[in-house]
Structures are given as structure tokens and as C-alpha cells.
Copies of this chain bind each other. A is one copy, B any other.
Amino acid sequence: MIKIGLIGFGYWGPNLARNFNAHPDLELHSICDFSGDRLEVAGRLYPQTRLVDNVEDFYRDTALDVVAIATPVSTHYELAKRALDEGKHLWLEKPMTEKVEQAEELIELSEAKGRTMLVDHTFVYTGAVRKIKEIIEKGELGDLLYYDSTRANLGLFQQDVDVIWDLAPHDISIMDYLMPVKKLAVSATGAHFYGNGIVPKALLTIYMEDNIIAHINVSWVSPVKIRDTFIAGTSKMILYDDTQPSEKVKVYDKGVELYETKEDLYHLKVQYRVGDMYAPKLEDHEALALETNHFVDCINNGHKPITNGEAGLEVVKILVASKKSLDTNGTPVDIS
């Protein structure tokens, strides 16, 4: 049995605990949280698990094989460094770190120590995203054109980070997984219209190689919940609507072709193509269960996780650049 210890039992930690506990090869060995209330809840659910209220005591337990960190992003780097320093495998919540250099250092450290490090980009493990990846890899979409997603609702207002750091990591990690293309620059716009310095609604544009572009719209202040993602290529286009109970992914055989005509160099010839739409059957599993499985496999076999440090770093790079662009009202920031 692999002994896993979890730091952070707030909003997301309980989901990790539930999945770790359910995995046949993992033992949920200890849970650490500063809040006595949260530890009490943990104790009721997992009477056999060791509960600690500070990091020193947590790390004193040398029996641990793996550390999972589900705390605010500002604490990720310190806690993760310590885990790797002590030779533990690492499950790290997203966004990976606050700074690019921190993410780079963790990558190096995990490699130097020969330890598995997974960054929890959960959506990558959903049936929907996996099916879209499969469709793209088969070449069905043709040449990729754009990624356009909206993630909005009347959501939890965070007090210390902009909406971009809270919601966009989902979209950026999905996009980077589906479109592993070199990112060149970021432009981000938004307003802190409640006058508190926090931006609750923002737009990101990510410029990529080959004129591929991504638009990401994130908001904590929408009257309705929206989870729409468009992924378009020259041959087909996908709409992935995560609010749908079924038919989450629709593949449209629609496209447009442009070419200059010989007769008239100034005129384009535009050709539309409209065919069938289909909604593929999706795997029906909990993403976190699959991700936990994959994590254990990687630990056992020494493989690199799909959502590894490099994937986490890519997200951090874009977030850091976004913040800079946001502060200058959309001026593009180079990330190539």
C-alpha cells in the first residue's frame, strides 16, 4: 500500500480524500489542516486516518510515500518543495505555483529526486476532453484554427486573486492538452468594477504558432452558468458544453475554405461545407478516479503523468503574462 498524506481539507481536498481512500493501492494515511473544524469533519469520514493541524507534524511522519497539496496557491511552492526534498511523490493542485521560476524549480527538483509529480488539471481526465483529444489526434478537425471557451456563473468571489487565476487554469490546461502548440503572447482585459482591485470578469487572448488563437472568457458574475468550449479546425468544429447532462460533445462537419482565384487576385473564393453533426458516446467515470489511477500507475512504473510539471508550468506562464497584460489594459505580453 502506498501511504498518502493530504494537506488542505477545504473545498477541493475532500474530493481528493474520497478518491484516494477508494483506490485499492492507496492508504489515506494522514490529513493536515489548520482548521480544527475541518479536521473534525475529516475525522468523522476517515476515523482511521491520522489528523494533524500543522505542517511540521505532518512532515515528521516518515512513513508517507506521497504528499497531496490542496491549499491556496500562495503556499504551493514552499509545501511542494519540502515534499520533494523529503523524497515524496507529489500531487499538486492547480495553478501549480505563483511564479514561473517556482514551477521550473519544482520540475527540476522532482527530476533530480526521481519522484512523480502530478499537477491536478482534473478536466484533462474527463470523458469529454479525452474524447475530443482522440478526435483531434485522428485528424478529424483538419488544421487547428481556434479555441474559444466561456466559463461563467454567479460564483465564489475570491478575495486574493483575480478570476483569471481562479477559473482560467481549467481552460488553459484543457487547451494546452488539446492543442500542444507553441504559445507566443497573451492579451488580457477586464475591470475591477466593484472597486476592490479584484477583477471578477476577464477575457484572455492567447496567440499561438500558425495563426492559431485562443479566446477565454471567465467570469464570477454571470446570471447563468456557462461552460462552452469551441475547438475549430479547417475540416470540423467541436462544441463542448459541460452544462449538458448528455451530448456534452458535438462534432460539426462544418467548415469554410478560402483561396484566391486565378481570375482575380483581389477576390477570394469562399466555400462552405455543412454536413452531419454527431455527439459521440463518452466514457462515464469520475475524472478524479481516473486521475488517481493514472497517478498510482505513474508512481509504480516511473512514467511521467499526462498532467506533469511541464503542463503545470505552461499554465503558470500564461497566468503570469495575463496578469501583466491585464494591468496594461490588454497590451500583449510575450511568452514565447
Contact = CB atoms under 8 A, between A and B. Distances in A.
Interface stretch (A72-80, A87-95, A264-272, A298-306): A264-272
Contacts of A24: none
Interface stretch (A9-17, A103-111, A118-126, A185-193): A185-193
A223 B230 contact: yes
A290 interface: no
B189 A187 contact: yes
A187 B190 contact: no
Interface in A62-101: none
Nearest to A219: B148
A146 interface: yes
B212 A193 contact: yes
Interface in A248-274: 250, 252-254, 256, 258, 260, 266-268, 270, 272, 274
Contact of A332 (B200, B213, B232, B331): B331
A316 B237 CA distance: 32
Interface string A120-148: 00000000000000000000000001101
Nearest to A277: B279
Nearest to A328: B332
Give the size range of A's interface with the partner. Answer: 35 or more
Contact of A215 (B203, B211, B280, B325): B203
Interface stretch (A164-172, A174-182, A238-246, A307-315): A238-246
Contacts of A192: 211
A18 interface: no
Contacts of A275: 281
A323 interface: no
Given A223-B254, A230-B222, A213 B187 contact: no
Nearest to A253: B281
A276 B281 contact: yes
A50 interface: no
Contact of A196 (B195, B222, B268): B268
Contact of A330 (B154, B157, B217, B330): B330
List the 10 closest pairs (A to B, CB-CB), nearest first: A187-B330, A223-B252, A189-B205, A223-B237, A278-B278, A191-B213, A329-B332, A193-B211, A330-B330, A277-B279
10 contacts: A145-B193, A154-B256, A157-B258, A159-B270, A187-B187, A192-B211, A196-B258, A217-B217, A225-B246, A330-B330
Interface of A: 145-146, 148, 150, 154, 157, 159, 185, 187, 189-196, 198, 200-201, 203, 205, 207, 210-213, 215, 217, 219-225, 230, 232, 237-239, 243, 245-247, 250, 252-254, 256, 258, 260, 266-268, 270, 272, 274-281, 325, 328-332
